[in-house]
Amino acid sequence: MSEELPSGWAEASLSDLIALDGIFVDGDWVESKDQDPQGEVRLVQLADVGDGVFRDRSDRSLTAEKSIQLRCTHLNTGDILVARMPEPLGRACIYPGSERSAVTVVDVCIIRPGAKSVDPRWLMWSLNAPSVREQIAAYQSGTTRKRISRKNLEKIQLRIPPLAEQRRIVEVIEDHLSRLDAADIYVASARKSTSSFDNARRMELLEPWLSSTRKLGTLLASPLINGRSVPTDDDGFPVLRLTAIRERVVDLSARKGGAWRKDDATPFLVNQGDFMVSRGSGSLHLVARGALVIDDPDPVAFPDTMIRVRPDLRTINPEYLAFVWDSPTVRRQIESLARTTAGIYKVNQSILESLDIPVPPLKVQGKIVEAAFDHFAGINRLASAMEKATRRSQNLRRAMLAEAFAGKLVTQDPSDEPALELLKRLKVEREIQPNATRSRRRLATTRPAPPRQTTYVSAGIQEELPL
323 compared with 246, residue with greater pLDDT:
323
Strands (E), 221-310: 225-226, 232-240, 245-246, 248-250, 255-258, 275-278, 280-281, 290-292, 306-309
Radius of gyration of the chain measured on its C-alpha atoms? 27
What residues pair up with 28 in beta bridges, in sequence order?
A: 105
Alpha-carbon distance of 293 to 274, in angstroms, equals 5
pLDDT digits (tens, 9 = 90+) for 22-78: 999 999 999 999 999 999 999 999 999 999 999 999 999 999 999 999 999 999 999
Cβ distance 103 to 44 under 8 Å? yes
Q: What is the pLDDT of residue 436?
A: 55
Angle of helix 362-404 versus helix 318-325 axis, rounded to 10: 50
Mean pLDDT of the chain: 88
Alpha-carbon distance of 42 to 98, in angstroms, equals 9
Cis bond leading into 87, ω under 30°?
yes
pLDDT at 313 over 50: yes
The average pLDDT across 265-282 equals 95
Alpha-carbon distance of 63 to 68, in angstroms, equals 9
Length of the chain measured in residues: 467
Most confident among 239-248, 305-314, 372-381, 404-413 (mean pLDDT): 305-314
The average pLDDT across 271-290 equals 94
Q: What is the pLDDT of residue 188?
A: 80
Q: What is the pLDDT of residue 345?
A: 95
pLDDT tier at 434 (50, 70, 90 boundaries)?
low
Compute the Cα dihedral for 194, 196, 197, 199 and give only its sign. Answer: positive
Cβ distance 297 to 255 under 8 Å? no
End-to-end CA distance of the chain: give it in Å, rounded: 38
Q: What percent of the chain has pLDDT over 90?
A: 71
Q: What is the pLDDT of residue 287?
A: 95
Alpha-carbon distance of 205 to 194, in angstroms, equals 17
Helical H runs in 140-215? 150-153, 163-206
Q: How far is CA 296 from the centre of its chain?
A: 34
Q: Strand, coil or helix: what is 275?
A: strand
233: left (phi over 0), alpha (psi -120 to 50) or beta: beta
pLDDT at 2 over 60: no
What residues pair up with 104 in beta bridges, in sequence order?
A: 44
Q: How far is CA 332 from the centre of its chain?
A: 25
Alpha-carbon distance of 401 to 389, in angstroms, equals 19
pLDDT digits (tens, 9 = 90+) for 75-112: 999 999 999 998 899 999 999 999 999 999 999 999 99
Cβ distance 95 to 79 under 8 Å? yes
The average pLDDT across 243-272 equals 93
Other Cβ atoms within 10 Å of 309 Cβ, number:
25
Q: What percent of the chain has pLDDT over 70?
A: 90
pLDDT at 431 over 50: yes
pLDDT digits (tens, 9 = 90+) for 170-202: 999 999 999 998 888 887 877 766 667 677 888
The average pLDDT across 322-338 equals 94
Alpha-carbon distance of 301 to 360, in angstroms, equals 32
Pairing of strands 290-292, 275-278: antiparallel
Nearest to 158 by CA among 191, 122, 182: 122
pTM above 0.85, yes or no: no
Angle at 31 between CA 339 and CA 345, to 5 degrees: 15
The average pLDDT across 250-277 equals 95
Angle at 250 between CA 229 and CA 324, to 5 degrees: 110
Nearest to 409 by CA among 53, 168, 130: 168
